[in-house]
Structure formats: C-alpha cells, structure tokens
C-alpha cells in the first residue's frame, strides 16, 4: 500500500498539482502544540524534485513560522477527494522567507502575490511517500473562498503591520514568530 520515494516524481508532482488544498504540519522542539493547517488557493509550487514553496498568507496565528525558526521540521499532506484514492506526504526542513529577505521577490513570482502575504515558506524535501487514501471521502470542489483576500484587500499596510504585531509576533506557545520582524516587514508594505 504505502511507498516511499527520494524525490517528488513526475506522477506525484501531477497528483500534487491537481489538488485544490493541502495540509501543513509543524511542531516545536519541546512540549508545545503540534500545528496542522489546511491551505487553499493555488499557491503551492514544486520548485524542483526536492524543493517546494507556498505563499503564507496572514492568519490568526503564526505557528508554522515559529516552529520552522525553532527546528525547521515540516510535513505536507495532499489527499485525493476525487478520482483515484491517494495520499501524498512530503517530509523535510523548511524556513520562512520574509518580505525583507533578498530572495522574497523571486519566490513571490513563483507562488503568486497573494493579498495579505506575510512570507513564502520554502522546504527542502528529504522523503516523499504515497499511501492508499481508501478512507478519504469523495468531495466536490466548488471554488476557493474569497473571504480572506477580501478581508486583507480592505486593510491598509498599517492595519496589516498592526495585526502582525498583535497576533503574529509569537506562537500560541510563546515561541518567536514575527516578533523581531514586524517593523521591518511593515516598512516593506
């Protein structure tokens, strides 16, 4: 049933690119809470057979950014909700590339410039696996929700910076997330 791969093969790449959503899991080094986030929009990109990236849009927490700064561990999961059953997981080490980082503009060109974008998450993948997905239900994709982009589209750069300061400076467990970057990020717009 399950198979492991050293790279993201062409068939796995095609499967990943066909999915409308994915999940991202991270955890702190010691104690704390495991974070598992569903992600939508069309922002996940396979940069090469062992490297991926996605647009990290501002949200109510900054767990992924904090956990990656703490230990770098990250797992992605893609499920087939239609067609042939399959689950693909990508395991690796990631980091958050922030707007004030030199490589940010080139990465945004690849993942898309989303409203409310606060970082691009980049991960080097060292293990890829595929499993049956027999228990994953069939679900129909209707459309992406527009509420998040509408919300951030109605805010100013100052509003965004203030939100980062209040809600994204640390993780729910108190790990630094955007704490040291809020002022420099707000100057970038």
Residues 87, 22 contacting (CB under 8 angstroms): no
Q: What mean pLDDT, rounded, does the chain reach?
A: 93
Domain ranges of the chain: 3-134+144-188
Task: Give the mean pLDDT of 167-172.
Answer: 94
Both tokens of residue 91? 């395991």
Instruction: Report the distance separating Cα 133 and Cα 181, nearest Å.
Output: 40
Kindly report the number of other CB atoms within 10 A of residue 70's CB atom: 19
Task: Report the pLDDT value the prediction gives residue 179, as an integer from 0 to 100.
Answer: 73
Chain centroid offset of residue 57 CA = 8
Q: What is the pLDDT of residue 59?
A: 92
Q: Mean pLDDT across the stretch 10-28?
A: 97
- Rounded mean pLDDT, 84-107: 96
The proportion of the chain whose per-residue pLDDT surpasses 70, expressed as a percent, equals 94
Q: Does the pLDDT value for residue 38 go beyond 90?
A: yes
Query: If you classify domain 3-134+144-188 with CATH, what class do you get?
Result: mainly beta
pLDDT of 187 higher than 60: no
pTM of the model as a whole: 0.93
Check residue 176 and report its DSSP letter: B
């Amino acid at each position: 049933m399950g198979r492991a791969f050293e790279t993201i093969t062409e068939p796995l790449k095609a499967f990943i690119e066909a999915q409308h959503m994915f999940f991202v899991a991270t955890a702190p080094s010691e104690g704390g809470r495991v974070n598992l986030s569903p992600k939508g929009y069309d922002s996940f990109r396979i940069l090469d057979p062992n490297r991926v990236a996605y647009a990290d849009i501002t949200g109510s927490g900054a767990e992924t950014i904090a956990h990656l700064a703490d230990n770098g561990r990250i797992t992605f999961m893609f499920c087939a909700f239609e067609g042939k059953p399959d689950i693909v997981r990508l395991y690796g080490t990631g980091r958050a590339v922030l707007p004030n980082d030199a490589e940010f503009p080139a990465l945004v060109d690849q993942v898309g410039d989303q409203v409310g974008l606060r970082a691009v998450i980049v991960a080097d993948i060292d293990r890829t696996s595929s499993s049956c997905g027999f228990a994953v239900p069939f679900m129909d994709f209707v459309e992406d929700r527009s509420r998040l982009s509408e919300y951030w589209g109605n805010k100013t750069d100052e509003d965004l910076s203030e939100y980062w300061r209040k809600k994204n400076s640390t993780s729910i467990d108190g790990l630094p997330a955007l704490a040291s970057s809020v002022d420099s990020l707000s100057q970038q717009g």
